[in-house]
Structure 1
Amino acid sequence: MGKTTYKRLKGSQNLRQRLLLATLSSTPVLIEDIRADETWPGLRKHEVSLLRLLEKICDDCAVEINETGTKLKYKPGIVMGGRHLVHDCGVSRSIGYFLEPLLVLGLFAKKPLTIRLKGITNDSKDPSVDTFRSTTLPILKRFGVPSEGLDLKIESRGVPPNGGGEVVLSVPIVQSLTAVTWTDEGMVKRIRGVTFSTRVSAQFENTMIHAARGIFNRLLPDVHIFTDHKAGPQAGNSPGYGISLVAESTAGCFISADTAVYHARPEEITEFEDDEKKELMPPGDIGEKIASALLGEIEQGGVVDSTHQGLLFLLCALCPQDVSKVRVGKLSPYGMETLRNIRDFLGLKFAIKPDASTGTVILKGNGSGLRNLSRKVS
């Protein structure tokens, strides 16, 4: 056995994506100075949970964390996939944080992946599970991922601070992805959405829908927002409500925006405010806010919304050695970080060309030619 050489990185930013790319490119990484100067140094609960999740779906992966959690050694293994896996994501980040790396890794696993994730399904930080179902999965299909076996079932909902939600994710395996030329945004032809409420009155949902429709119906007639009121065990452990909206274009693009309202997690409350006194944002305002946010995303242009830029670039980079060309709106900070990580791990650079007439950006680049070597060839 030769000595393992580790790629040395610093800091806590984009840890999730670094681990994902390290696993896909089989690059052992050593990350130092993880929040070394903060009051609470080291890895956060959700980051440790992500490492445990990687251990579950990979064979022979090694994780070493020092006592303070400021230094992490990660040696990737073989992505195995598998059925009937269960992972508790905890309540410090929502399930959305774990879904993106899982979706991508699952495609390159040895066996199809089916995993039950427990925790928070909707919060205001990460994309909600509804957005994954309505927007993220169709993006994967663009890259040649079969619809059969690609599924996300929401069994119960959970909002912060106590979670209690459960989803089941199924990801099929692929030999390789297909490169895309995806620059046509099309025109928005319809808007779909879903509101949810847990442990509060179902009337809140009608108020959110009414407010959102009030904005959209001036622009287009085809607006359908469904309700998903959960009660009993399916309603998780905390009260909350929220809305997830998707605009579908004539060219088959899905642009989404979502949020949820709930009582703050204990670590998010500053010493000056008392949680009991803090009023939650009224449902009518939420409906209007997210409808406006969606219009803002549509206005920016591009074939995906700003939250999906990172995933889009990643999928382009994992394609065969063929040119992919995509159009996005203004580059989001996460999108830019993704491009840096792709350069560092896969050695790929995209040509970025602003399109002045539409205010969008066109990215063009070769894929890294990643193939699923562990998959049995039938």
Structure 2
Amino acid sequence: MFHHTIQTHFPVFEVPVDAGEGSATHDWENKIPAWGITEECTCWGKGFWNLKVLLCHPLWPAQFPASLGTQSHNAPRSLSERWVERMRTAAGRVPWGIRFHSNSFPGGAGSFSFRRARPGSALSGLRACRRLVFCPLQQGRGRCRPGSEALAMEGQRVEVDGGIMEGGGQILRVSTALSCLLGLPLRVQKIRAGRSTPGLRPQHLSGLEMVRDLCGGHLEGAEIGSTEITFTPEKIRGGVHTADTKTAGSVCLLMQVSMPCVLFAASPSELRLKGGTNAEMAPQIDYTMMVFKPIAEKFGFTFNCDIKTRGYYPKGGGEVIVRVSPVKRLDPINLTDRGSVTKIYGRAFVAGVLPLKVAKDMAAAAVRCIRKEIRDLYVSIQPVQEARDQAFGNGSGIIIVAETSTGCLFAGSSLGKRGVNADKVGIEAAEMLLANLRHGGTVDEYLQDQLIIFMALANGISRIKTGPVTLHTQTAIHFAEQLAKAKFTVKKSEEEEDATKDTYIIECEGIGMANPHL
């Protein structure tokens, strides 16, 4: 079934067109300066418009741009006549009869009516266009333009090489989330080619299936070990969605791929995520709650995360329920003032058959390590024995958070392993925290890459100050620029206090993604 859809970063109204004789009419409110079926619009003074229109037919070339200009006071008649004339010139025939029912178009309330060719004509019985997409145009001084150029058409997919840069699951998460948000058909090849066991693992497959389900999209090639998938998204919807890795695969990584999507859903969402809550090679759920959540909410959204059961390697068995309300747009953030460290706190935990003494030893070793460098602050790390009905299997670990006078948050964490002394686990977490405090940035090494997709979607310019820019962050920036067309710059911090430090400013001009449902 042939169709052509123009995708923009603004809300769109889609008008379904019946395959037979008849018409489709759409009414809209006068909320923005102009509407059009368009890729581009240029304004020469008040009321004079040039619209680049796209219509498609399977027997014709892929697209016929038709430029037309008119004064707004006589827009209905002249727009209709000139549009049809341009289409006759391009196609050698008139594919549509077009009537305008408002003498204030463009820019006012009104409706279009598109009528199929008469029975018996050259186009009778053919589907000229499955749906027409109305894109709001953003007016500026002497120029009016949409939020983005057309990004994809039927038969065209964005091609992603999953083996470049970081070469792991992050490429899959970022590209799939942006595909879902922007309506971009996607093909990812060489999935996790940079890992010792390439291809999809259970947590990656679960994340893909969740994104497919929350937008009613189509997913092909998705199975354990697969190195290539194709994904065709549809409209994002709210409701209850479940992802179960059936392993110790990280629930936090499931959250990373799904949360940006449901922020732009039509209604609130509940994500039931099952797997490992405290897993290696991924943020611990405690990090997500204590560091990621308060910083991410500066973009203007909130979410609630209810930890039902904690799950550890190798069995998993954890479950968290994340509730998210959609937003109209994301606000930009400015995190460039670190301030001074005012608090250091954390938790050391054990679960299952492990004794509380292990948690106490981790906490004590971490405190001793921190006090060698920071002597004027009280360090509070609470040893915790997880309740048996709230944890599945045996596990241990520690997370330590430093909070500053300006609300910045940094963390160090580590998980216990068989045969590894508890003191060593505590010291590893403490040294990670201290390293993140030394570089002078406002976010730690594990938060910087998680913020990139939100910066890309935000409505304005965001800035964060970081330490050394990680490969994960560089990868997230690369794909946000390629898929979303956000503009990033990374430069050395020029502040005097950062002169001797490896400190950088990451700046992004976001695309101003708007929720079409709100």
What's the TM-score bracket when you normalise by the shorter of the two chains? 0.7 to 0.9
CA offset digits 1:283-303 (Å, max 9, x no partner): 111111101111011112211
Distance, in Å, in 2 between the alignment partners of 1:66 and 1:364 is 35
TM-score (ref. length: structure 1): 0.87
Distance, in Å, in 2 between the alignment partners of 1:374 and 1:287 is 47
1:50-129 equivalent positions in 2, closer than 5 A: 50-58=207-215, 60-65=216-221, 69-83=226-240, 85-91=241-247, 93-129=249-285
Which amino acid letter does the alignment assign opposite residue 188 of structure 1? V
TM-score (ref. length: structure 2): 0.64
Distance, in Å, in 2 between the alignment partners of 1:315 and 1:165 is 27
Alpha-carbon offset, residue 39 of structure 1: 8.8
Contact residue 461 and residue 510 of structure 2 kept, 8 A: yes
Alpha-carbon offset, residue 231 of structure 1: 3.8
Distance, in Å, in 1 between the alignment partners of 2:194 and 2:502 is 39
Aligned equivalent of 1:229, options 357, 381, 385: 385
Q: Secondary structure at the match of 2:329?
A: coil
Q: Secondary structure at the match of 1:310?
A: helix
Distance, in Å, in 2 between the alignment partners of 1:57 and 1:291 is 39
Determine if the alignment matches structure 1 residue 310 to structure 2 residue 467.
no
> Partner residue of 1:325?
463
Change beyond 3 A, Cα 1:66–1:188: closer
Contact residue 238 and residue 267 of structure 2 kept, 8 A: yes
Distance, in Å, in 1 between the alignment partners of 2:297 and 2:503 is 23
> Partner residue of 1:367?
510
Alpha-carbon offset, residue 201 of structure 1: 0.7
> Partner residue of 1:166?
319
Determine if the alignment matches structure 1 residue 203 to structure 2 residue 385.
no
Q: Secondary structure at the match of 1:184?
A: coil
Alpha-carbon offset, residue 186 of structure 1: 1.0
> Partner residue of 2:159?
8
Contact residue 209 and residue 225 of structure 1 kept, 8 A: yes
* Percent identical: 28
Distance, in Å, in 1 between the alignment partners of 2:243 and 2:322 is 11
Distance, in Å, in 2 between the alignment partners of 1:209 and 1:37 is 35
Aligned equivalent of 2:396, options 241, 246, 255: 241
Q: Secondary structure at the match of 1:245?
A: strand
Alpha-carbon offset, residue 36 of structure 1: 7.5
> Partner residue of 1:183?
336
Alpha-carbon offset, residue 40 of structure 1: 6.0
Alpha-carbon offset, residue 71 of structure 1: 2.3
Distance, in Å, in 2 between the alignment partners of 1:19 and 1:61 is 11
Q: Secondary structure at the match of 2:209?
A: helix
Distance, in Å, in 2 between the alignment partners of 1:35 and 1:256 is 27
Which amino acid letter does the alignment assign opposite residue 283 of structure 2? P
Alpha-carbon offset, residue 175 of structure 1: 0.8
Distance, in Å, in 2 between the alignment partners of 1:38 and 1:17 is 17
Contact residue 122 and residue 259 of structure 1 kept, 8 A: no
Contact residue 352 and residue 362 of structure 1 kept, 8 A: yes
Distance, in Å, in 2 between the alignment partners of 1:66 and 1:20 is 16
CA offset digits 1:92-123 (Å, max 9, x no partner): 52112112222222222221222222211102
Q: Secondary structure at the match of 2:446?
A: helix
Which amino acid letter does the alignment assign opposite residue 260 of structure 1? L
> Partner residue of 2:66?
none
CA offset digits 1:103-159 (Å, max 9, x no partner): 22222222122222221110221000000000111112211224xxx2212222111
Number of residue equivalences? 352
User: More displaced, 88-97 or 20-29?
Assistant: 88-97
Distance, in Å, in 2 between the alignment partners of 1:17 and 1:87 is 17
Alpha-carbon offset, residue 86 of structure 1: 3.1
Structure 2: tracts of 5 or more residues without a match: 4-153
Q: Secondary structure at the match of 1:306?
A: coil
Which amino acid letter does the alignment assign opposite residue 359 of structure 1? D
Contact residue 248 and residue 312 of structure 2 kept, 8 A: no
Distance, in Å, in 2 between the alignment partners of 1:80 and 1:314 is 20
Distance, in Å, in 2 between the alignment partners of 1:291 and 1:10 is 37
| Higher RCO (CA-CA < 8 Å; seq separation 6+) | 1
Change beyond 3 A, Cα 1:39–1:87: closer
User: More displaced, 70-79 or 291-300?
Assistant: 70-79
Distance, in Å, in 2 between the alignment partners of 1:351 and 1:37 is 26
Which amino acid letter does the alignment assign opposite residue 430 of structure 2? A
Determine if the alignment matches structure 1 residue 347 to structure 2 residue 485.
yes
Q: Secondary structure at the match of 1:303?
A: coil
Change beyond 3 A, Cα 1:227–1:35: closer
Determine if the alignment matches structure 1 residue 251 to structure 2 residue 406.
yes
- Measured on the aligned residues, the alpha-carbon RMSD in Å equals 2.2
Aligned equivalent of 1:43, options 200, 203, 222: 200
Contact residue 369 and residue 430 of structure 2 kept, 8 A: yes
Alpha-carbon offset, residue 196 of structure 1: 1.6
Contact residue 95 and residue 121 of structure 1 kept, 8 A: yes
CA offset digits 1:150-207 (Å, max 9, x no partner): 2212222111100121212122211111112221011111112122211111111111
Contact residue 45 and residue 92 of structure 1 kept, 8 A: no
> Partner residue of 1:267?
none
Contact residue 128 and residue 259 of structure 1 kept, 8 A: no
Determine if the alignment matches structure 1 residue 212 to structure 2 residue 351.
no
Alpha-carbon offset, residue 353 of structure 1: 1.6
Structure 1: tracts of 5 or more residues without a match: 263-278
